[in-house]
Amino acid sequence: MASTRWGGAAPIRELIRLQEKYGLFLYIDDAHGVSIRGRYGEGFARSEFGERLNDLTMIVASLSKGFGVTGSVVMIANEAQERVLRRYAVPHAFSMGPSIPAIGAALASAELHKSPELSVRQSRLNAMNVFFNAQWDEDAVKHDLPIKMIRIGDAKRTISIAASLIENGFYLAAAFFPAVPHDKAALRVCLTADHHETDIARLCALVKDLTKS
């Protein structure tokens, strides 16, 4: 769910309004939104649609991020869409079924998503996000989703800073071309509910120090 603010999200409600006006078909990739939003962790995109999806919307999401297992999920409105997918989706036709351990892990995660623990962890993640945002002045970093992109610019310098962070106990992936445009390399931060304010404060201070040198 990319936007002009890296790490942010697409304007789903605005897209829904355009869909209602022009009959647009929406195919939404909510790779990172599952679990962090919604009463049962249905994700950022799905929670924006309210009670049910319409016939012109399809949401595909990864289960290997917040859901904590492997595989993916397709959210559709009816059986007709399911038949189309089963017939024409080549990756589906040539993919193997999930392993027994993967099924067990998915069932265990689903039970957690139906329990009060989910809202506790969602609240904890939100608190870490708010704290992280408070450490920065740049609007591009300050949004309400947990994946952040701290822009550095030069790819080699970004990789060097990422290496220095590892030496200090922090792993931030360096994103550079072709993952991002030329000369817009960045450090990718992924906040979780298990992070602590002291660690986040130390990370932000270290990144600021390294980017000044």
Indicate whether 111 and 16 sit together in one domain.
Answer: yes
Look-up of token digits 């067990």: 104
Domain count within the chain: 2
Q: Does 86 share its domain with 142?
A: no
Instruction: Enter the pTM of the model.
Output: 0.83
For residues 190 and 204, give the distance between their C-alpha atoms in angstroms, rounded to a whole number: 13
> In this structure, are 55 and 122 located in the same domain?
no
What confidence score (pLDDT) does residue 10 get?
83
| 52 in any annotated domain | yes
Domain carrying residue 172: 118-212
Q: Cα-flanking dihedrals φ and ψ of residue 189, to 5°?
A: -105, 130
- Spatial CA neighbour of 69 closest among 35, 115, 40: 35
| 4: in domain | no
State how far the alpha carbon of 70 is from the alpha carbons of 61, 74, 93, 102, 109, in Å.
11, 14, 18, 6, 11
pLDDT at 100: 93
How many CA atoms lie less than 13 Å away from 118 in the CB half-sphere? Answer: 21
Task: Split the chain (213 residues) into runs of 10 and give each run's mean pLDDT.
Answer: 53 93 93 90 90 89 91 90 85 76 94 96 96 88 87 95 96 93 93 95 96 82
